[in-house]
Structure 1
Amino acid sequence: MTTALAAPATAPAPSATRRWTPSRVLVTRSAAERPYGQRVLARLEAAGVNDIELLRGDRLANLRGDGDRAAFMAAKQTLALVVPPASLRRLQPIAPSADWRFDLAQGCPAHCQYCYLAGSLSGPPITRVYADLDEALAGLDAYVGHGTVTSGSAARAGEGTTFEASCYTDPLALEHLTGGLATAVEHFGTHDWAGPVQLRATTKFDDVAGLLELAHAGRTRLRFSLNAGPVAQRFEGATSPVAARIAALGAVAGAGYPVGLTLAPIMPVDDWREHYGRLLDDVATALPAGTDLTVECITHRFTPGSKETLLDWYPRTRLEMDEERRTTKRGKFGSVKHVYPRETMSELRSWFETAIADRLPHARLLYWT
């Protein structure tokens, strides 16, 4: 099969502004036996991680700390290299993003005070890297052509069968330690698939130098999660600055990748039109002509469980989570979600749809939620 290679980068990759080094690494026995697990171990040692514990079995010991806050901080500084349960590799749809959720890892080293993982994952927020990546990639063929979110949608069928790699993690935040995203990108770019496919990943980081010359064949869409200055500065701790993410967005677009802009979580802060307008202008300036660009808009919401967890994690947060200022939405199984009132949502949506069309006229707005 003839495979298209990545286009040469039009400019040098921006230097990474932030790289996470875990204080402690736990490696289960099964993970250490996997070829990919061994490659990750070598990268961890090369990165200067000193506290690497090879476990005798496949269970992770409980993290203990002097109180919940200490346990939280210890967990956020810990990486575990594990083999996930077999059930995780029976892929599930992940609307509205993609046909299938494909996990490279679980957990994130960033400190976003609105973190949606607080309502999605239980237990200490350890970052778990999955050591079965080689086998997991080999198992994706069975899912091609069988999705309902993109491949089964007339509006998005051109994306092919899509696989979302950042549902429960930020893969670029871990890439210097794992190489997992590059491995997946090259597999998608060089494998002989039964139909059109796309790997999708979103990030709040900027360390893209290792991705620019890969044989991606246009089958990976790298999306950058961006926000207005006041939101990012106040609530997105331990991430790359927004300006650096925008520079990285421009670099990967220059390398021929289809790219995406994830505006999330949108918040109607003071002077929000001015701040978000400036953000969209900066994105438009950074992108090369002809960039294949999508936009996803996600407004801020929270659940009772996520609010409780986030207040435990970040007790001094100034994040607005006042149920009295929100509308309650209930899922079909009784789940509760607090979203902005209808009038606020309507105002936000109208402005963003117009602003995106004006400033990024070639972009495709995939969804608003």
Structure 2
Amino acid sequence: MVRPSPPLLDITRIYAEPAAAQSPRGQEIIARWPAAEVVPVASHWQIPEVHGDERNVARWVRIKTEALILGEKKSIATRLNGRSADFIAPSLSNGCAMACAYCYVPRRKGYSNPVTVFTNVDKIAAHLARHVHKQGPKTEPNQCDPEAWVYDIGENSDCSVDALISENVRDICDLFRMTPTAKASFATKYVNRDLLEWDPLGRTRIRFSLMPASTAKITDIRTSPMAERIAAIDDFVEAGYEVHLNFSPVILTPTWVEDWTELLTHLADVLSPQTKQQLAAEVIFLTHNEQLHEVNLGWHPKAEELLWTPQIQEPKVSQNGAVNVRYRSGFKGAQVELFTELVARFLPQCRIRYAF
């Protein structure tokens, strides 16, 4: 007998800033889990029993399943990007119910990272509408998009999961649906087929994150299986989404060339001509972190056998000042070139927007 998978979300406690709990969006969310205990908190950033306590490592997945946080976005600003999108939009949430072993967000919040929903989405939407209007039409094509300004709306979360919790993501996608000069974009590791009913009119780009299934089984915890993600791609294209691929992170396992060759060949075999015609991808090699490495040893050491390989890694100071580790520069450059050659050979219809 096959046991059913445990639910991604089984909310029993909702930690809420008072204004967030009293807001219309906060009330909608609380009503979705009427049996959950609502716990007032002064700040969504300071909840010791949820994050910031290393003793929570042993309860990592349980906290992600059972805890939800409601707060208000205090700093509403759009930032320049130029890689995954032209701009990074204000976050609709942060944190995630999934538990990928390489996720960078726990480096900031520490030890557990359940979803925090920002309930003042009306202010975020108004800010974005003003920002898009100020840009005017896009007059010069770039690697983000030849015609539209692209706004990443899910930098610190997975919007497909967020859409299980509230209408925030749909509200923002509906905003871009009626915006001819811009489009929303987000990467996802979760297949939420409710999104197929949204009729986005091509104004939302979903980037399905893909990697070899054998690696994902170890590193992509609580995500949709790779086969399910791949099977959803054509359906989302048919439903009116622009669908790109996010080959990320590329983890250099002993069999990575063979594994990626198999995946790319499979994609070439199963994706429809319509999907291939609009297909593009971004390629991001693994960046890791010593603190996250230590955290992972407390709950999922098997993943670190793939992620922590000091013999081919070196320190890197990121743009935000954090000290991380990446594959050694000369070595990495050769592997990036090899990866792009694999894509060109086995999935030639897929344009690579950028790779690093």
TM superposition score normalised by structure 1: 0.81
Query: Corresponding residue for 1:36?
Result: 25
SS of the residue 1:116 aligns to = coil
CA RMSD of aligned residues (A): 3.0
Question: Is 1:26–2:18 an aligned residue pair?
Answer: no
Deviation by residue 1:298-318 (Cα, 9 ceiling, x = unmatched): 111213333333334434543
Q: Say which of 41, 55, 78 aligns to 1:91.
A: 78
Q: Report deviation, 1:71.
A: 5.3
1:191-202 equivalent positions in 2, closer than 5 A: 193=179, 196-202=181-187
* C-alpha separation in 1, matches of 2:17 and 2:230: 37
Whether the 8 Å contact between 1:280 and 1:356 is mirrored in structure 2 is yes
Query: Corresponding residue for 1:12?
Result: none
Over 3 Å counting, the alpha-carbon distance change for 1:341 and 1:62 in structure 2 is closer
Whether the 8 Å contact between 1:18 and 1:205 is mirrored in structure 2 is no
Deviation by residue 1:45-70 (Cα, 9 ceiling, x = unmatched): 4xxxx323152766664317893434
Whether the 8 Å contact between 2:141 and 2:147 is mirrored in structure 1 is no
For structure 1, the residue ranges without an aligned partner over 5 or more in a row are 1-15
Over 3 Å counting, the alpha-carbon distance change for 1:135 and 1:364 in structure 2 is same
* C-alpha separation in 1, matches of 2:133 and 2:280: 22
* C-alpha separation in 1, matches of 2:318 and 2:17: 37
Over 3 Å counting, the alpha-carbon distance change for 1:159 and 1:43 in structure 2 is farther
Over 3 Å counting, the alpha-carbon distance change for 1:113 and 1:81 in structure 2 is closer
1:302-341 equivalent positions in 2, closer than 5 A: 302-315=288-301, 317=303, 318-331=305-318, 335-341=322-328
* C-alpha separation in 2, matches of 1:271 and 1:296: 21
SS of the residue 1:215 aligns to = coil
Higher RCO (C-alpha 8 Å, min separation 6):
1
Q: Say which of 182, 191, 206 aligns to 1:206.
A: 191
Whether the 8 Å contact between 2:216 and 2:226 is mirrored in structure 1 is yes
Over 3 Å counting, the alpha-carbon distance change for 1:101 and 1:286 in structure 2 is farther
Deviation by residue 1:237-282 (Cα, 9 ceiling, x = unmatched): 1111100011122210121211111111112223322211221223
Query: Corresponding residue for 1:13?
Result: none
Q: Report deviation, 1:343.
A: 4.7
Q: Report deviation, 1:123.
A: 6.5
Between stretches 348-357 and 76-85, larger displacement belongs to: 76-85
Q: Say which of 212, 235, 257 aligns to 2:241.
A: 257
Over 3 Å counting, the alpha-carbon distance change for 1:328 and 1:27 in structure 2 is closer
Whether the 8 Å contact between 2:71 and 2:116 is mirrored in structure 1 is no
Over 3 Å counting, the alpha-carbon distance change for 1:200 and 1:245 in structure 2 is same
Whether the 8 Å contact between 2:132 and 2:182 is mirrored in structure 1 is yes
* C-alpha separation in 2, matches of 1:17 and 1:231: 21
For structure 2, the residue ranges without an aligned partner over 5 or more in a row are none
Query: Corresponding residue for 1:188?
Result: 176
Over 3 Å counting, the alpha-carbon distance change for 1:95 and 1:359 in structure 2 is same
Over 3 Å counting, the alpha-carbon distance change for 1:286 and 1:137 in structure 2 is farther
Query: Corresponding residue for 1:233?
Result: 217
Query: Corresponding residue for 1:360?
Result: 347
* C-alpha separation in 1, matches of 2:92 and 2:33: 16
Whether the 8 Å contact between 1:226 and 1:242 is mirrored in structure 2 is yes
Q: Report deviation, 1:174.
A: 3.1
Q: Report deviation, 1:359.
A: 3.5
* C-alpha separation in 1, matches of 2:267 and 2:353: 17
Q: Percent identity?
A: 24
Query: Corresponding residue for 2:162?
Result: 174
Query: Corresponding residue for 2:64?
Result: 76
SS of the residue 1:86 aligns to = coil
Whether the 8 Å contact between 2:287 and 2:326 is mirrored in structure 1 is yes
Query: Corresponding residue for 1:272?
Result: 256
Q: Report deviation, 1:28.
A: 2.9
* C-alpha separation in 2, matches of 1:284 and 1:214: 27
* C-alpha separation in 2, matches of 1:157 and 1:315: 40
Q: Say which of 284, 287, 301 aligns to 2:268.
A: 284
Q: Report deviation, 1:154.
A: 3.5
* C-alpha separation in 2, matches of 1:217 and 1:197: 12
Q: Report deviation, 1:172.
A: 1.0
* C-alpha separation in 1, matches of 2:140 and 2:116: 32
TM superposition score normalised by structure 2: 0.84
